[in-house]
Amino acid sequence: MRYKLLGKSGLRVSELCLGTMTFGETWGWGATKEESQKQFKLFLEAGGNFIDTSVNYTDGTSETFLGEFIQDRRDSIVLATKYSLTKPDSTNPNSGGNSRKNMIQSVERSLKRLKTDFVDVLYLHMWDYMTPVEEVMRGLDDLVRGGKVAYVAISDSPAWIIAEANTRAELMGWSRFIGVQVPYSLLNRDVERAIIPVAHHWKMAVLPWGILESGVLTGKFMREIEGETRIQPDKLHLNEHHHKIIQEAHQISKETERSMAQVAINWIRQQQEKAQIIPILGARSAAQLHDNLQALEWELSDEHIRKLDEVSKIDLRFLHDFLEGNPYIFGATYNQIDVKWQ
């Protein structure tokens, strides 16, 4: 395991992050407390120090488990949580959203469950299209100045909101976002259109979730499913484009004698020319996580990357194809990235 500075900060984090949405069975699927602890210990033994959760994951069970797991090693853990989401059955209009009220309530709830005085990274989980950007950024900065949060980041939000938020923060001397979480995988490269370029411009880390697409990129849906699974095959809505990607990943898996999951993880890991990429691993068992972590032992060849890039390619559309190398813009070199993240 190697370590990186998280975006434009001095915070040192492992090159892989452990996602804990699977910690707890409250939502009808996920890992028991014992299995969750096995995953936690396995990740630390591999050199991992970056742990991701949320105030709403498994209705708080994820944070509660982590609060127990981290007690004897809090100083060595980089702990990230999120606020924003409302429970579907809530009748309290302020129980969710991006408001300062919900921000404060959520952070206090998280700190109690996590049994800690502060969290290292607090994400805004999803943009609500209602709360003023300045309210969010000033509220987050107050939490940083108050010592309850060390750094702030954002997840699943529009590129223009991220840009406005960071601009306001820099102009006002507030804490700006150092990372952005997004769904990103071989089967879903949509964020390459706007969010990843924004992250590159602002020197923010990109933390992809859903990198195995609910198990699709492990190859498990290529065979008969046995036992419990979070998503049934008929709910996946896979098309011909997706099947071509899966088949290519399967072929490379055979050639490298590595699992399809490792192939998919390493494709994400090796996208560093686009931005600083720190994949989030999410597993249901220690055995699955052990396989995922073995991706650190090797890398895809240039030829394998080329094949996967080609089969999974999407049309980036306007403005990418309009401005890149445009002969009417003197010296246009948009396609030449001037910063390569390490």
Q: Which residues are marked as active site?
A: 57
- What is the spatial distance between Cα 137 and Cα 272, in angstroms, rounded to a whole number? 28
User: Strands 177-183 and 205-209, how do they pair?
Assistant: parallel
Q: Are 273 and 308 in contact (CB under 8 A)?
A: no
Give the 3-state secondary structure of residue 252: helix
Kindly list the distances between the CA atom of residue 96 and the CA atoms of 89, 241, 253, 269, 288, in Å, as whole numbers in the listed order: 12, 37, 42, 33, 33
Q: Compute CA 119 distance to the chain's CA centroid, rounded to the nearest angstrom.
A: 17
Give the 3-state secondary structure of residue 298: coil
Q: What is the DSSP letter of 119?
A: E
Give the 3-state secondary structure of residue 250: helix
CA dihedral 188, 227, 41, 65 (to 10 degrees): 90
What are the structure tokens assigned to 309, written together? 């890039």
Sign of CA dihedral 243, 246, 252, 254: negative
- What is the spatial distance between Cα 18 and Cα 282, in angstroms, rounded to a whole number? 6
Q: What are the beta bridge partners of residue 124?
A: 83, 154
